[in-house]
Amino acid sequence: MKLRYFFFGICLVAFLSCKKDKTSVKQTTETPITRDLSEIKKDGKLKVLIAYSGTSYFLYRGRPMGYEYELLEHLAEHLDLELEIIISNDLDELLTSLKAGDADLVAYGLAITNDRKKLAAFTDYLYVTEQVLVQKKPVNWRKMTLDDIKKSIVQNPLELIGDTVSVRKNTSYYKRLRNLSTEMGGEIIIDTLQGNLSTAEIIKMVVDGKIKYTIADKNLATINASYFPILDTGVPVSFSQRIAWAVRPNATELLDATNSWIRDFKRKAEYNVLYNKYFKNKRRFKKRVKSEFYSINTNEISPYDDIIKKNSETIGWDWRLIAALIYQESRFENEASAWSGAEGLMQMMPGTAEDLRVTDRLNPNENIRGGVTYLKQLHDGHADINDSIERIKFTLAAYNCGYFHVKDAQKLAELNGLNPQVWDNHVAEMILALTYPKNYVRKEIKYGYVNGLEPFNYVNDIFERYNHYIKFIKE
């Protein structure tokens, strides 16, 4: 910043007298981002801008879920890329952020409009919907006849003339209200809301009486109305619209690859199952919305958060990382047991429990206290690893397959010219190699065979889940 003002000071006269130079600087600053699929492949990550909402991307009972999120998992697997989720803080700025290079893809239910096509290239549509008016029935609607309910609410968009409807500004809803005013020859007053509000949150504002009306896509409005039956979503205000994702106009390789995948995936039964799961299954939606462990409602991961937080002080780790491990072990099911004899939330073995004086492995307090104590022992056993994140990865691997198998993998890394203090692409590869006789029968290897795929995936899965947790759950 200081350098910029220094430059401004010594060049003020020239700057003011030479508009061509100013234009030239602006053009340089706005050079289009050219990152396409070939560059993304080199990077190994598909960066996706997504909305935090009850249908797109959320956390439920420790598991990341959402229509867009699950589709993206399939797409990333198809493209052989790591998925990097970026949550948008302002839904009105999705396409602006895309243009700026903050992400490669916007995975949010955007209606394809001519105005938006000037800013981005849209994929093949994912589904077709229409916009509907979201309004509240009278408080005593259950005691009223259907005809009386209809008489008390808007039944035709013409009735909105002179009234106020609340929507975010940079949405197809806003544009549709403007067009409706023109078509009907009377003004609908548009109350513009903040860009950080999701459609579901705005619908809830209607329920709470904070706003009178809003507009939403029918599938979103209908699924929310299944939980809030006081809502009426039966008045259409638009024709059918195609809903799609967006990429930068010059990302033609990514667009072609994504479209090819969409066409193939939509032909599979799994696509309809996924759509129904989030937009038509009213029972599952109601169950999520009522849950204390639905991240839209609360800042909780599991019923055991307080116990995890307390015991995390023992090892000095972020409690959300330990929660990610516990989900991996038991899905937070306290009665979980394995063929090996492991039991409880952290799947403690009988011998380990005895060593740590855990008398009841199905007692959440005892199990988590003992499990974290064991983690600390393994963590202390890797004190020679200086990098804190690497040390955690080695600790997690040891928790899964055993401390000495990890030590064998470190030894094998040395023998193969790899770094024994780095997990990814070094010791992790050697833990996989210990699956094969040519490696585990070597005289330098003391503890023999290990199913290396388990600890390899275990570490990756826990860190991936942890990255989701820190997006949703604030300290």
* Integer Cα distance of 33 and 101 in angstroms: 6
Measured CA to CA in angstroms, residue 210 lies from 196, 206, 229, 298 at distances of 16, 6, 17, 21
- The answer to whether the CB of 199 falls within 8 A of the CB of 216 is yes
**Catalytic-residue membership of 329:** yes
Helix (H/G/I), strand (E/B), else coil: 401: helix
- Of the residues 68, 329, 366, 390, which is catalytic? 329
* Integer Cα distance of 303 and 288 in angstroms: 15
- Rounded to 10°, the helix 67-79/269-279 angle is 150
* Integer Cα distance of 431 and 433 in angstroms: 5
Task: Report the C-alpha dihedral over residues 165, 171, 176, 178, rounded to 10 degrees.
Answer: 70
- The answer to whether the CB of 345 falls within 8 A of the CB of 335 is no
The phi-psi region of residue 162 (left if phi > 0; otherwise alpha if psi is between -120 and 50; otherwise beta) is left
User: Would you tell me how many other CB atoms lie within 10 Å of the CB of residue 169?
Assistant: 13
Q: How far, in whole angstroms, is CA 72 from its chain's centroid?
A: 10
- The answer to whether the CB of 193 falls within 8 A of the CB of 202 is yes
- The residues carrying an active-site annotation are 329
